Structure 1
Amino acid sequence: MKPADTVARLDAWLREHAPGDFGQLAPPADPRLVDGIAPDRFDLHPDVRSWLELHDGSAVDRVLAAGAFVPTDFPLLGAARMSDGLRDMEEEVARAVEDDEAEYVVGVTADVRWLPVALNHTGGQLVVDHREGPGFGAVLELDPSVGLNGVKRWDSLSHLLETVLEALAGGSPVPTATGRKAVPRIEADGVPLPHVVWDVHYG
């Protein structure tokens, strides 16, 4: 399924069942911001461009809990924050090279071709791998709080969106990078608008 078709179906599901999340979806990104994410570095994966052509992130108001409908509780980033995240990656790699610690960092905890596309409240990141090779376009998870270093979660951003849509529509669990299961539910009590939360099951 084309990314635009998946996002259209996801938008419709959120509008009906999780209006808090739907209201957090930003309009399309400014094409100039998209072109400025990685100029003279690499071409953006088509899935990243497709997402940004539809929504410039999923957390218009970052203070609200809504918008984090990707397991586990990740809001998707817009163009400006992707650009900032990439610069942070580049700076981390540069520091590692300068300190002669590249083997412990590059391709492990940071890479100049890892484009951050989601960030959760614990500091975990989802990145799209733009390195050449069979892993091109894959979505990896990084989370130093639980020792995750570039663990592959999905084959592509399209695959991520399809998985989320299937899980939300069917209430089915999604395996986490640590082997547990995240199950979606709608939080409606004590909130202005219902939104998706992911409950992690440790058993």
Structure 2
Amino acid sequence: MELARTVALLDRWLEEHAPGDFRQLAPPAESAQAAAVTENRFQPHPDVLSWLALHDGSALDPRSAAGAFVPTDFPLLGAAGMRDGLREMAEEVARAQEEGEAEYVVGVMADVRWLPVAMNHTGGQLVVDHREGPGFGAVLELDPSIGLDGVKRWDSLSHLLDSVLDALVHGTPVATAGAGGARNVPRVEDTGNPLPHVVWDLYYS
């Protein structure tokens, strides 16, 4: 499904069922900010620009538990967060090259063409792969806390949002990137503070 249409449907679902998450959605990023997320290192993938043209991230208040409606508990970044995340990627690659560790880091734990688009509270990241080849545009997961190094999770940012929408509307489980056949199943948590918001429960086969 076209990303803009998916996000419109997702927005409506969140507004009705998970208003805490809906209120965390930022307005569109300024076009100049969106275009500058990669600081001219490469052209941002069209899905990235489409997302930023609709919402400059999903965590207006980063202290809130709401806004993390992507499994597993990822808030989506805005333009500034993407830019800063890419700078950190480039710094990690430069450090690895300087210390002779490039083969263990570049394309494994960090890459100058991996654009972070989400980050969770454990330091895990979702990145859009901008390297040329069949994986261009894919969404990879990195999480050193559980040993995930650039594992593909979705074919694209559009595919990610399609799977989230399907899971929220139909209760469809979403596979994790790790081993063991685990599945993430969404539910709406309503504790009164913050407002009702999506959480993901993990189940093992």
The TM-score normalised by the length of structure 1 is: 0.98
Q: Which residue of 2 aligns with 1:24?
A: 24
Output the CA distance in 2 between the equivalents of 1:192 and 1:147: 31
Output the CA distance in 2 between the equivalents of 1:16 and 1:5: 17
Output the CA distance in 1 between the equivalents of 2:119 and 2:39: 22
Q: Which residue of 2 aligns with 1:82?
A: 82
Stretches of structure 1 lacking an aligned partner (at least 5 in a row): none
The residue type equivalent to 2:36 in the other structure is G
Output the CA distance in 1 between the equivalents of 2:2 and 2:171: 23
Q: Which residue of 2 aligns with 1:202?
A: 204
Root mean square deviation of aligned Cα: 0.8
Q: Which residue of 1 aligns with 2:182?
A: 180
What is the DSSP-based 3-state SS (H/G/I as helix, E as strand, rest coil) of the residue aligned with 2:24? coil
Question: Structure 2 matches for 1:130-141, cutoff 5 A?
Answer: 130-141=130-141
Output the CA distance in 1 between the equivalents of 2:195 and 2:52: 25
Percent identity over the alignment?
A: 73
Output the CA distance in 1 between the equivalents of 2:87 and 2:172: 36
Stretches of structure 2 lacking an aligned partner (at least 5 in a row): none
Instruction: Report how many aligned residue pairs link the two structures.
Output: 203
Output the CA distance in 2 between the equivalents of 1:199 and 1:2: 28
Q: Which residue of 2 aligns with 1:49?
A: 49
Q: Structure 1 residue 130: deviation in Å?
A: 0.2
Q: Structure 1 residue 192: deviation in Å?
A: 3.7
Q: Structure 1 residue 38: deviation in Å?
A: 1.2
Q: Does structure 1 retain, via aligned residues, the 8 Å contact 2:188–2:198?
A: yes
Q: Which residue of 2 aligns with 1:162?
A: 162
Question: Structure 2 matches for 1:2-151, cutoff 5 A?
Answer: 2-151=2-151
The TM-score normalised by the length of structure 2 is: 0.97
Output the CA distance in 2 between the equivalents of 1:97 and 1:54: 37
Runs of 4+ in 1 over 4 A off after TM superposition: none
- Per-residue deviation, residues 51-99 of structure 1 (Å, max 9, x unmatched): 0000000000000000000000000000000000000000000000000
Q: Structure 1 residue 39: deviation in Å?
A: 2.8
Of stretches 188-197 and 126-135 in structure 1, the one that deviates more from structure 2 is: 188-197
- Per-residue deviation, residues 93-144 of structure 1 (Å, max 9, x unmatched): 0000000110000000000000000000011000000000000000000000
What is the DSSP-based 3-state SS (H/G/I as helix, E as strand, rest coil) of the residue aligned with 2:167? helix
Q: Structure 1 residue 190: deviation in Å?
A: 3.7
Output the CA distance in 1 between the equivalents of 2:183 and 2:19: 25
Output the CA distance in 1 between the equivalents of 2:65 and 2:39: 32
What is the DSSP-based 3-state SS (H/G/I as helix, E as strand, rest coil) of the residue aligned with 1:6? helix
The residue type equivalent to 1:181 in the other structure is R
